[in-house]
Amino acid sequence: MTTEIATLGGGCFWCLEAVYQELKGVQHVESGYAGGKIAHPSYEQVCGGTTGHAEVVRVAFDPAVAGYRDILEIFFTIHDPTTLNRQGNDIGTQYRSVIFYHSPEQQETAKQVIAAMAHVWDAPIVTELSPLSDYYKAEDYHQNYFRQHPHQGYCAFVVEPKVAKFRKMFADRMKQS
């Protein structure tokens, strides 16, 4: 089995993590921070908006089952790539829409998907496309957050609707329970 990595930011990492954990071909999803200017930031530092980091997920997947293009198409379906530094009530650069590519091939695929998605959205796509330089795993209590806290307010009202949308639109791509 081959493993490829995608690193994506689309608002709160709990939302993306919960969706990608259900995608067939995904081996592991980890919440973390990328794109900032300090090493090993804490959640509190990132939330302060001064580190430059985005909340991201690192998705390890088998490209023979779920390709990078599939990962990105789902990404553009479960968040709003037209709002700069914002997803719903989450506001700040830490919640920006961003694709951190790991290779020139990922960069080219991302450019193609962004161009295709520009025809889907009514407003311009503001998703940042940057090479991944540093990535830092988020604190343990952020990992598998939705699975551990499905009834917590944010999870019930923000994460669950995104998971439900994924389940409805991509039922054929879901892991079997």
Q: Which residues are catalytic?
A: 12
Sequence-separated (6 or more) residues with CB below 8 Å from residue 100: 7, 8, 9, 34, 35, 56, 130, 131, 132, 135
How do strand 54-61 and strand 97-101 relate by DSSP bridges? unpaired
CB-based contacts of 101, cutoff 8 Å, min separation 6: 107, 110, 129, 130, 131, 132
Query: Which stretches does DSSP call E strand in the chain?
Result: 4-10, 26-34, 54-61, 86-87, 90-91, 97-101, 128-131, 135-137
